[in-house]
């Protein structure tokens, strides 16, 4: 009974985990295990949990970057592979169009409703781009931003799955952590990022050797966030490529950022006594 009482007294810390293009919820669970375990260890007085939805777009081999059919009669395009996305990028439009993004957002809205409320979101690559969008959508006044750009004839309407008419309700997120993130290109997606900029605190973790999402693309998301993220220490570089770094300094960076946002959101200005952030190695 004592164990149950102690567990019931712990403050929840729920994190939405959004996988990258060609991944799945299960695969991202495996790749982010070190990160989640580190967060759980750093927050022993919290009930830390993570949810891993899978994108609604089941990809074909031909959707995978670098795919080349072996011959004209190849059956590869008909193969079933465990690879998913939140949208497909259509380069036939200029700027590129995110085909199927409404379904991707609807999948997230469903998870937020059924498994929330969530405190924050962590995303990788395409999932990091989506994390920025979701954080923005949950901010007060974001509908007005979409209406502003839609009225100008260049923006998308506010996503139906996040609207009051759909019965959707979720508080703003306390934080977002974006690994190899980027901003959706072009005027049609400005509602996510402008009028105003993204207000939710975002930690950007980038690989200096990332050849998939280069620095220029990542900086578009950094610049879409309020304030000066680089000056504020909200941009962290690791000496690797397109992956979640599992070395201690970069795990500590995420933990310190999450703790900072948890403490800021505490209404009475107090925080639980947990691992001292001064004991952490942070690459700032």
> Does residue 210 carry a catalytic annotation?
yes
Which residue among the candidates 99, 242, 246, 265 is catalytic per the annotation? Answer: 242
Mind listing the pLDDT tens digit for each residue in 156-174?
Answer: 999 999 999 889 999 999 9
When pLDDT is averaged across residues 132-148 and rounded to a whole number, the result is 96
Q: Is the pLDDT of residue 7 over 70?
A: no
Q: Which of 29-33, 44-48, 90-94, 107-111 has the lowest mean pLDDT?
A: 90-94
Burial, 211: exposed, middle or buried (Cβ in 10 Å; 0-12, 13-18, 19+)? exposed
Distance of CA 131 to the CA centre of its chain: 3
Q: Which of 134, 102, 104, 147 is nearest to 15 (CA)?
A: 134
Which residue among the candidates 125, 161, 218, 234 is catalytic per the annotation? Answer: 125
> Does residue 242 carry a catalytic annotation?
yes
Mind listing the pLDDT tens digit for each residue in 214-270?
Answer: 999 999 999 999 999 999 999 999 999 999 999 999 999 999 999 999 998 874 343
Alpha carbons 178 and 192: distance in angstroms, whole number: 15
Q: Is the pLDDT of residue 140 over 90?
A: yes
Which residue among the candidates 46, 51, 180, 210 is catalytic per the annotation? Answer: 210
So what's the pLDDT on residue 91?
Answer: 82
Alpha carbons 149 and 191: distance in angstroms, whole number: 6
When pLDDT is averaged across residues 99-127 and rounded to a whole number, the result is 97
Mind listing the pLDDT tens digit for each residue in 206-230?
Answer: 999 999 999 999 999 999 999 999 9
**Do residues 204 and 181 make contact, with C-beta atoms less than 8 angstroms apart?**
yes
Q: Is the pLDDT of residue 15 over 70?
A: yes
As given in the structure block, the two tokens for residue 114 are 């059924």
Q: Is the pLDDT of residue 74 over 60?
A: no
Task: Share the mean pLDDT of the chain.
Answer: 88
Alpha carbons 174 and 186: distance in angstroms, whole number: 27
Alpha helices, DSSP H only, in the chain?
A: 2-9, 25-31, 33-42, 101-115, 126-137, 142-151, 215-222, 248-265
Q: Which of 245, 209, 210 is nearest to 35 (CA)?
A: 245
When pLDDT is averaged across residues 56-82 and rounded to a whole number, the result is 73
Q: Which of 69-73, 83-87, 149-153, 214-218 has the lowest mean pLDDT?
A: 69-73
So what's the pLDDT on residue 78?
Answer: 54
**Do residues 244 and 179 make contact, with C-beta atoms less than 8 angstroms apart?**
yes
Q: Which of 22, 46, 20 is nearest to 32 (CA)?
A: 20
Cis peptide before 117 (omega within 30 of 0): yes
Domains present along the chain, CATH in parentheses: 2-65+73-267 (3.40.50.1820)
Residue written as token pair 């909200």: 234
So what's the pLDDT on residue 276?
Answer: 40
Percentage, residues of the chain above pLDDT 90: 76
């Amino acid at each position: 009974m004592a164990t149950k009482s102690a567990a019931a007294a712990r403050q929840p810390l729920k994190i939405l985990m959004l996988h990258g293009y060609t991944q799945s919820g299960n695969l991202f669970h495996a790749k982010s295990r070190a990160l989640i375990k580190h967060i759980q260890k750093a927050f022993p007085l919290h009930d830390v949990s993570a949810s891993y939805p899978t994108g609604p777009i089941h990809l074909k081999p031909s959707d995978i970057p670098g795919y080349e059919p072996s011959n004209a009669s190849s059956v590869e395009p008909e193969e079933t592979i465990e690879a998913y996305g939140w949208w497909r990028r259509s380069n036939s439009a200029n700027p590129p169009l995110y085909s199927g993004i409404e379904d991707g957002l609807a999948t997230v809205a469903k998870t937020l409703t059924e498994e929330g409320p969530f405190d924050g979101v962590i995303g990788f690559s395409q999932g990091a781009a989506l994390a920025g969008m979701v954080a923005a959508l949950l901010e007060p006044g974001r509908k007005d931003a979409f209406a502003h750009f839609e009225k100008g004839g260049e923006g998308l309407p506010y996503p139906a799955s996040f609207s009051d008419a759909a019965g959707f309700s979720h508080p703003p997120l306390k934080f977002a952590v974006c690994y190899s993130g980027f901003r959706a290109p072009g005027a049609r997606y400005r509602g996510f990022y402008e009028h105003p900029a993204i207000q939710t605190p975002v930690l950007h973790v980038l690989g200096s050797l990332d050849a998939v999402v280069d620095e220029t693309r990542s900086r578009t998301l950094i610049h879409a966030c309020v304030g000066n993220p680089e000056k504020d220490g909200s941009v962290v570089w690791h000496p690797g490529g397109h992956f979640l770094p599992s070395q201690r300094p970069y795990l500590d960076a995420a933990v310190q950022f999450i703790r900072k946002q948890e403490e800021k959101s505490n209404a009475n200005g107090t925080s639980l006594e947990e691992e001292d952030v001064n004991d952490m190695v942070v690459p700032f």
